[in-house]
Amino acid sequence: MTDEATEPREPAADPDLDQFYDAVEAEGRPVVTASEVARRLGTTQASAADALNDLVDEGTIDRVSVETDPVVYFPAEWRELAARERVVVFPDRREIVVDQPRQYTRAQLSQFAHLVDSTGDRERSVADRETATRGYKYEIRPEDVWQAPFDDVEELLSLMRSVLPRRSAELEEWVRSQWQRANRFRLFTHDDGYVVLEAGSESLMGNVARQKLDEEQLVAPISETESWVREGSAAAVKRTLYEAGYPVVDDRDLDTGDPVDVESTVDLREYQQDWVDRFRDQQSGVLVGPSGSGKTVTATGILAAIGGETLILVPSRELAGQWRAELVAHTTLAPEQIGEYHGGEKEIRPVTIATYRTAGMDRHRALFDSRGWGLVVYDEVHHVPAEVYRRSADLQTTHRLGLSATPVREDDREAEIFTLIGPPIGTDWSRLFEAGYVQEPEVRIRYLPWDDEMARNEWAHAEGRDRHRVAAENPAKIDETRRLLDAHPDASALVFVDWLDQGEALADALDVPFVSGEMPHHRRDRVFESFREDDLNTLVVSRVGDEGIDLPNATVAIVASGLGGSRRQGAQRAGRTMRPAGGSRVYVLATRGTSEEEFAQRQMRHLAEKGIRVIESNVDDGAQSEGGEE
């Protein structure tokens, strides 16, 4: 064992307050001496004592003389020590627990770890509720390493070392091994036109590929490391091997499509151009930037860079119309070069916009299969793993581009998105927030009491879905919504609901329109346009506002119900306020003591993964809204 006292080292700088706290935590005792601080920080006892006495003079720590040592030091304000960030790593379980995390830490962790849970005591006093934060537990999964947005494993390890408190040889070795697994299988096109699966070794082909894949995927072996892939089975091969822990490199010679003469008319931001460059290098990928970061504009830049016939898949006709407008506004494409293919129109053009459902129908599928596409764009790509949409992922093209701010699914199939389409691009949201390109939302979960005994009794006697509905329709939410809107009188606000009765009640109480699926399309379009033009400053919106509706002037979102929905829904609704200018506020209202508490935490989890702070507080009976305190 090396004697630490005899090992020479450079003297450290005099300790500051943070280093003093580190020393207290390291000693595991409430008080420390100057010699203990010096030993922990690698400085001299005299220097440590001088610096500690300076901190005493500043009033940030205290000291007292005791019999066993001339002086001991302790924090003047113990709450400051308790409120500090702590990062604890469990290498054997590949888990990271963070207490009181800073935004920087959460943002960096989001690039290589998956948020599993958030924990902590939410029962705070009124005085403390503004500072209520939660601890976070992360897990580093194989797919997190495979999809990490770095060019090589050393970049990934460098980031990990910058955020974790100490290096772990065991954890880093595991990360290296997972990184290597991502390049052990490859699909390529044989000179005779069929597809070949190539393994990095005979063992991988024999013990992994040929054990996991059957005659439905593999026709016959070609060599000890190569197998002939059955036509149309490449996607199934990729999915199966991914699930076995081996993501496949896809180097097939796929259709490039007829050339299309098109240029972008937009000056892309630096990060958008980086997204374009990364996509061109990879030939496939999923843009996962936040709402307001310009994913659609970036997609038009990619379309111009590829310059081939393009198919754009969208979940609805409304989105098809928005895409047509974006293409005309941001590229040199003429309107007659753009076709729409869905229930309303059926035109194939050099750039075609189709709905997932129509493109997957048997009577239309042959038309799309026979076309040579240079690029296929999957808007709202989180739909792809669903059975009704996934056939579209088999369309042959050299370039696949997915778009989604929230590629998460409650059935845990989000990994399939990156398997079928490509690796994620644009995962570092914190850089966009810090640069001011996108407004980081301030997210507050507000737990409300019942203020209507009749409604509470109805909830107590209800079961299943009715129980969730009654909690969601808590009448207290109407008053709280009104108070929040009054606190932001100049804001453009969206109030989201899942239940039609609640939406109508809120719209009546606030004297504003309620936009739902029952509102005719032409009237819905007029209402949204009035909101964009600031003729209306508040809308109550049902699920029709969750996806694809462009309302860039919204600065406040109030989620009054929908808490039984997915993490994706919660992030989409919050994303409606994530724009470059103005303050961005998101309020999530949940009835205290009901399943809405858990739903609220789950819905905001995707935002927490991206480093966005989520503050929780209780609305006490008769308490004023947050707006009056800010």
Give domain limits for the chain: 4-80, 85-164, 183-246, 270-429, 439-629
Question: Are 138 and 95 in contact, with CB atoms under 8 Å apart?
Answer: yes
Res 14: pLDDT: 62
Residues 6+ apart with CB under 8 A from 559: 496, 570, 573, 574, 586, 587, 588, 589, 603
How many alpha carbons fall within 13 Å on the CB side of residue 613?
A: 17
Choice between 473 and 250, residue whose per-residue pLDDT is larger: 473
What strand order describes the sheet that includes 442-448?
Answer: 514-515, 538-541, 493-496, 556-559, 585-591, 442-448, 614-618
Six token digits for residue 109: 């962790």
Confidence at residue 248, expressed as pLDDT on a 0 to 100 scale: 84
pLDDT at residue 540 in the model: 92
Mean per-residue pLDDT, 316-323? 84
Dist. CA 52–CA 65, nearest whole Å: 14
Pairing of strands 218-221, 226-229: antiparallel
For the stretch 106-142, pLDDT in tens is 778 878 888 776 654 444 433 343 344 456 788 898 8
Number of alpha carbons in the 13 Å side-chain half-sphere of residue 577: 26
Give CA 268 to chain center in angstroms: 23
E strand or H helix at 167: none
Nearest to 294 by CA among 319, 272, 314: 272
CATH fold of 270-429, please?
A: Rossmann fold (3.40.50)
DSSP state of 391: G
Q: Mean pLDDT, to the nearest integer, of 542-570?
A: 63
pTM value surpassing 0.85? no
Adjacent-strand bridge partners of 558: 495, 587
Which residue(s) pair with 474 in the sheet?
none
Give 517-544 as a DSSP string.
Answer: TTS-HHHHHHHHHHHHTTS--EEEE-GG
Sign (positive/negative) of CA torsion 439, 432, 587, 514? positive
**What average pLDDT does this structure show over 602-611?**
63
Q: What is the pLDDT of residues 74-88, one digit of tens each?
A: 666 655 555 567 888
User: pLDDT tens digit string along 40-81?
Assistant: 777 787 888 888 888 888 777 777 765 555 677 666 665 555
Q: Which residues pair with 86 in a beta bridge?
A: 99
Distance of alpha carbon 496 from alpha carbon 449, whole angstroms: 20
First CA to last CA across the chain, in angstroms?
A: 56
| 439-629 and 270-429 share a CATH fold | yes
Mean pLDDT of the residues in the chain: 77
Name the residue with tokens 């056939």: 391
pLDDT at 222 over 80: yes
- CA dihedral sign, ordered 207, 211, 213, 214: positive
Q: At residue 156, does pLDDT exceed 60?
A: yes
Report the 3 state secondary structure along 465-477: HHHHHHHHCCCHH
Tell me the longest C-alpha to C-alpha distance in the chain. Answer: 91
CATH number of this structure's domain 4-80, picked from the four choices 1.20.140.10, 1.10.10.10, 1.10.287.3240, 3.30.70.940: 1.10.10.10
Strand 397-403 relative to strand 284-287, pairing: parallel
Q: Is the dihedral of CA 107, 108, 111, 115 positive or negative?
A: negative
CATH class of 439-629: alpha beta
CA distances from 370 to 230, 255, 367, 494 (A): 19, 10, 5, 43
Determine which of 63-72, 106-115, 438-447, 594-603 has the lowest per-residue pLDDT on average.
63-72
In angstroms, rounded to a whole number, what is the distance separating the alpha carbons of residues 99 and 204? 41
Q: Which residue has the higher pLDDT, 364 or 592?
A: 592
Between 444 and 8, residue with greater pLDDT: 444
pLDDT in the model for residue 4: 38
